[in-house]
């Protein structure tokens, strides 16, 4: 009796989680499937499997410049994340080692930045960037992305540095390292887990950031993926296989990285709950 | 001698620390704090981005917002997304997480990976994929729905003003429920297993254990999840911009898309700043709440 009830419960659990997984999976599979179809079979039988592996849609989509968008996204994401890690690391270290009220006040100021969404300051952001003559430049994305990534990363590093063993630092200072050298040679190299966590978290958001990139980048050769793939829609009005092929190309890299390193992704993003 | 050298290290230390803080503070000032001040200042004027001339308008832009029906539609839509997302994303996220934590042994990691995956896809791509799935002429959703005998909406899934915001809400849930699930799952895994064993001895298993042990144990994480979802619901932009552009007839306009429309399409930047100020106030209030809960935790 007890055994049977247990089985029914298990069935419900697996049924529910399995069903949800399917609902999530099907649109993604549909995207990959459609990109291997011909335009005709797409319209006649949208739900059927592709008759054969057909990569022409990928060629058409690649022609829009997906390759260039990807390079741009990699550059912007890498530069922004590197900047965020170094700048936030320096700031958090100073905040944990400074004495007195100023450090607390500065920490609160930086944390307050966490509450400000980019969407709410779009007009002045645009004014500042265009006023500086920086429209259509990668730097005009990298610097604001860094600025908006700093607060959360400082919070994360702050907690990590507070627990950092002071003996190591004192030894380094005795050996004649300045505070800055101590940070670069001792603290940063030993902060691997915190850095990885921050870098993954920020990468996901910056790689997918849309609204600022949409405003700043009008030049096709500078566009990042989220802005670039929007062109697929206009370019191939009725050519769904090409749109889906473009989307597959755009989403595959991060999906692959995610599947391979999902443990780290999950740990990093779940850190937001702390 | 020692006292003096101590003195110099302290001040040189202060200088080093100031230099270490400077890059962060400069970047944040230029791109976060100054823009906030400029939003508030600019909301008092009437101007467009190409104008040199700014006309002082006092609180005119705010008066205009409060009597603008589309502003209220946008705010209402944000609230629909916030409340709907709390129910769908946090609600189902909690259920899925509890099931993965307590009941599922085989295939748990695989299913967790799948459900979380849309989180790493850009909302633009998600919007475009669903735009094709929901296409009224040949989209597979219509084929699917017709196959089980339901008539698909006549104006299309996104074409009916009474319907479209709910479809957007559904797509957002498709993308982000996995994120909430993972967040909550991390909290669940921190609950000591002995608690469940002790409760089982007292006769509390299954749903009763969930009600009396699981929920109280993850109370703080749930609050954080609700706050993150709320902030996200007020910030929503990409999905709507891609799927409906705020249409049909402004029915899916939210604050983010309405700010964009007023500032960069219609050239009413002062007005856009006033709407931005409303969004800012909401965001700062939520941020303050979040800080308070994390302090308590």
Mean pLDDT lowest among A56-65, A214-223, B6-15, B86-95: B6-15
User: Tokens 């832009």 appear where?
Assistant: B61
Residue B259 reports pLDDT greater than 60 = yes
- Decide if B24 and A150 are in contact by the 8 Å CB cutoff: yes
Of B20, B238, B286, the CB nearest to A90: B20
> Closest Cα of chain B to A123: distance in Å?
7
For residue B244, the 8-state DSSP code is T
Residue ranges of chain A whose pLDDT lies below 70: 1-6, 43-47, 51, 271-274
- Decide if A273 and B49 are in contact by the 8 Å CB cutoff: no
Average pLDDT over every residue of B167-180: 96
ipTM: 0.89
Contacts of A30 in chain B (CB under 8 A): 129, 133, 140
> Which strand (E) or helix (H) includes residue A63?
none
What residues contact A214, with CB distance under 8 A and at least 6 apart?
Answer: A226, A227, A230, B241
- Break chain B into its structural domains and give their ranges: 79-275
Domain B79-275 has CATH 1.10.1060.10: no
> Closest Cα of chain A to B87: distance in Å?
16
What's the gap between Cα A58 and its chain centre? 24
- 8 Å CB contact between B118 and B181: no
pLDDT tens, position by position, A26-45: 999 999 988 888 777 776 66
Contacts of A144 in chain B (CB under 8 A): 31
Average pLDDT over every residue of B280-286: 94
For residue A49, the 8-state DSSP code is P
């Amino acid at each position: 009796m007890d055994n049977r009830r247990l089985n029914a419960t298990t069935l419900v659990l697996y049924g529910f989680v399995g069903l949800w997984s399917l609902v999530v999976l099907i649109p993604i599979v549909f995207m990959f499937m459609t990109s291997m179809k011909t335009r005709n079979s797409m319209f006649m039988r949208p739900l059927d499997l592709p008759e054969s592996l057909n990569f022409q849609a990928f060629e058409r989509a690649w022609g829009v410049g997906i390759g260039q968008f990807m390079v741009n996204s990699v550059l912007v994401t890498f530069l922004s994340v590197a900047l965020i890690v170094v700048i936030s690391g320096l700031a958090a270290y100073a905040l944990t080692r400074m004495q007195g009220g100023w450090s607390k006040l500065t920490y609160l100021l930086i944390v307050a930045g966490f509450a400000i969404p980019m969407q709410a300051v779009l007009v002045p952001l645009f004014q500042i960037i265009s006023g500086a003559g920086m429209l259509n430049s990668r730097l005009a994305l990298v610097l604001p992305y860094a600025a908006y990534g700093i607060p959360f990363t400082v919070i994360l590093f702050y907690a990590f540095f507070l627990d950092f063993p002071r003996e190591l630092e004192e030894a380094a200072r005795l050996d004649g390292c300045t505070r800055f050298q101590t940070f670069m040679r001792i603290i940063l190299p030993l902060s691997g887990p915190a850095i990885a966590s921050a870098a993954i978290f920020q990468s996901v958001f910056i790689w997918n950031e849309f609204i600022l990139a949409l405003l700043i980048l009008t030049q096709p050769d500078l566009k990042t993926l989220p802005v670039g793939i929007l062109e697929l829609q206009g370019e191939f009005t009725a050519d769904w296989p090409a749109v889906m092929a473009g989307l597959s190309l755009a989403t595959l890299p991060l999906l692959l990285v995610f599947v391979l390193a999902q443990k780290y992704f999950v740990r990093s993003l779940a850190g937001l709950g702390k | 001698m020692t006292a003096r050298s101590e003195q110099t290290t302290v001040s040189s230390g202060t200088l080093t620390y100031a230099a270490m803080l400077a890059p962060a503070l400069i970047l944040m000032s230029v791109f976060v704090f100054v823009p906030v001040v400029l939003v508030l200042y600019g909301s008092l004027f009437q101007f467009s981005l190409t104008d040199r001339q700014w006309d002082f308008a006092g609180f005119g832009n705010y008066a205009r917002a409060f009597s603008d029906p589309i502003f209220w539609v946008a705010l209402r839509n944000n609230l629909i997304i916030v409340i709907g997302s709390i129910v769908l994303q946090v609600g189902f996220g909690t259920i899925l997480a509890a099931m993965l934590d307590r009941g599922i042994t085989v295939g748990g990691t695989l299913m967790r990976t799948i459900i979380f995956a849309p989180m790493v896809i850009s909302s633009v791509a998600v919007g475009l994929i669903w735009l094709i799935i929901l296409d009224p002429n040949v989209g597979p959703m219509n084929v699917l729905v017709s196959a089980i005998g339901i008539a698909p909406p006549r104006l299309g899934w996104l074409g009916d003003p009474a319907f479209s915001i709910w479809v957007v809400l559904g797509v957002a849930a498709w993308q982000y429920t996995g994120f909430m699930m993972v967040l909550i799952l991390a909290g669940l895994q921190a609950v000591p297993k002995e608690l469940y064993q002790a409760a089982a001895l007292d006769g509390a298993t299954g749903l009763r254990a969930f009600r009396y042990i699981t929920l109280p144990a993850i109370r703080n994480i749930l609050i954080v999840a609700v706050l993150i979802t709320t902030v996200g619901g007020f910030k929503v932009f990409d999905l709507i911009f891609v799927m409906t552009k705020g249409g049909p007839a402004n029915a899916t306009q939210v604050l983010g898309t309405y700010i964009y429309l007023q500032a960069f399409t219609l050239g009413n930047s002062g007005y856009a700043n006033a709407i931005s100020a409303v969004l800012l106030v909401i965001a700062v209030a939520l941020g303050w709440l979040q800080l308070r809960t994390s302090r308590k935790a």
